Amino acid sequence: MTKRKSKGPVDIDDNDEYSDNGNNISLDLSDDDLQVVNSSKVTPTKKTRNNYNVNSNNNNNSFDNGLDDNYIVENNNNINNNNNNNNDDVDFQFVFQLTPDQQLQDRVSELIAATFDAQKYKQTPPLLLNSILYYEVRDNSFVDKNMKGFVRVFKLMTGSNDYCIVRTRDYIAKIESLKVKETTAATTTPTSTTTNTSKQPTTPTTLSHNEILDRFINLLIPKFTDTSIFGTKLQMIMELTSQQLEHAITILVQCSILLLNGDSNYLFAIPSSGLFITDLVKGRKELLSIISKQKYKEMLLTDLNKRKLKTSNMSISLLLKDLKNSNQLKSTMTTAGELISFDKNNLT
């Protein structure tokens, strides 16, 4: 009696035929090679947890082979990670690895959420001091390189060399909120009853409030990233005439989007950020004053955290990070705990 040789794993290739005219799907394969499951009632011994379509063609890695979602094929050579766990479910796991700039952007969003008090500064778009960002992410050049487009940098009018960042989407949303409801068009093209129209202007001589903000959002923000701008550059980027430029600057200053910084030079500003900046300046001053009044001009962090600032709504922990990154304060570990003192290397 001749022994029957066991067959090896069989691939389903393009020459195999199947029909899907009814509920049952049949393949031109032997029962030893392939178990066909009725698509109206599926009882597989091994199943895909995520209900992906299983493609049996070894030359095609696509999940979609055109078959019914309930069509599950089990052959004799299913891949087993562990021979002792043959009944375990098969999971498809996808791991998406973020690029360095995406990781940094996520980190920035986390820092904004952790440090910016949206309840105290409801009208201010969420911002993050550069001193805090550089304190948490030590590679300054890496930060500057990978933040372009995701955030905008602003110089703060604090009397110090202070900068902060705002996510571009938050900045645009704030400017959008400054638009006014116009019941009538602010400007119209002059009309005439005469038949000669060759002398009529093709564009309005002035722009409305909302038109100026739209040009700022659509033309300037994507193209210009410096912290200040000259009037001539603003005119060129926003495609303004000389008359339109004067009116546009007036509107942008009124909205606290621009601040006069010198002769025909303007700083980009964050609308409704006045309370935040005031708290920052007063908080720094009060915290430095508390430490300077100590006998040795130093104070344990545990004692400092028990204090409550009288002139500022900012937290002491946030101000400490800010002042330590600017080298005004430093921390030293002692047996009694972390000690906060003035940075002597930065004293004048």
Among residues 60, 94, 128, which one ends one of the domains? Answer: 94
**Same domain flag for 218 and 331:** no
**Same domain flag for 144 and 128:** yes
Whether residue 279 is contained in a domain is answered as no
The edge-to-edge listing of strands for the beta sheet with 329-334 is 298-300, 337-342, 329-334
**Same domain flag for 264 and 160:** yes
Q: CA 17 to CA 28: how far, in whole Å?
A: 6
**Same domain flag for 162 and 297:** no
**Same domain flag for 261 and 323:** no
Residue 9 has pLDDT above 90, yes or no: no
**Same domain flag for 136 and 173:** yes
**Same domain flag for 305 and 253:** no
Whether residue 110 is contained in a domain is answered as yes
| Count of structural domains within the chain | 3
Residues 48-70, mean pLDDT to the nearest whole number = 43
Whether residue 276 is contained in a domain is answered as no
> What is the predicted pLDDT for the residue at 335?
94
**Same domain flag for 44 and 152:** no
Range of the domain at 296: 290-346
pLDDT tens digit sequence for 264-317: 899 999 999 999 999 999 999 999 999 999 999 999 999 999 999 999 999 999
Instruction: Compute the radius of gyration of the chain from its Cα atoms.
Output: 34
- Which phi and psi angles does 322 have, rounded to 5°? -65, -45
**Same domain flag for 111 and 249:** yes
**Same domain flag for 138 and 224:** yes
**Same domain flag for 25 and 82:** yes
